[in-house]
Amino acid sequence: MSGDVLTLFDLDHTLVQHDSEQHWVEFLVAERLLDAGEVMVKSHALTERYNRGEAGAIEFSEFYLGLMAPHDPTRLEALRDRWIRERVRPCIVPAALRLVEQHRAAGHRVVVSTAVFRFLAEAEVAEFGIADLIATEAERIDDRFTGAVAGVTNSREGKVERLHAWLADNGERLDRFREVHVYADSMNDVPLLSHATHPVAVNADPALAATARHSGWPILTVA
């Protein structure tokens, strides 16, 4: 691993302007793979509960993974590619691209750390030219989604645990870096932001904005 500055970006409402799982489900509904009524009501309610800290990370991830379990993985990959082209790429704002490039040009190691499951996150992160991704992992059997999470969800305190594990896999430690920048939008990211030398609240929800003001963290709008 090169460089002595580590920069970590959250994905949803930080680099992209949406909730990835909910955005993906809306696309699947439009493709008639899911029933709009029941699924969208549950999706919106779960997202609101999760953002308030009332729903656990496993419950959140496994709801969305369970929706994909009945479907052929090859078809899901083709749909994901269309989702990126038609729904995600047109909505990526230049300010987010510039922010990533600013850190890359400075020689920082740029990593995305997101609670979004890898199947979606890896395709979105590729749009920013970022190779390193820490995401929630989905269990697969015979290449099909089972609907279960594999290992620790990359959410809340799990983001810190997964970061240390990822660094160890690369022969590194967090305290080796001279600076650690973290960009994130939600109170769910406070555990990771608290480990940064340069925490930044991006497009912050009200609770994170209040925490940032109290802690003296910069607040940034990327839109």
Residues belonging to the active site = 10, 12
| E strand segments, the chain | 5-9, 109-117, 132-141, 144-150, 179-184, 198-202, 219-220
Helix (H, G, I), strand (E, B) or coil at 113: strand
CB 220 within 8 A of CB 201: yes
DSSP-assigned beta bridge partners for residue 5: 179
Q: Give the whole-angstrom CA distance, residue 154 versus residue 141.
A: 21
Q: Which residues contact 85 (CB under 8 A, 6 or more apart)?
A: none
Q: Give the whole-angstrom CA distance, residue 96 versus residue 178.
A: 24
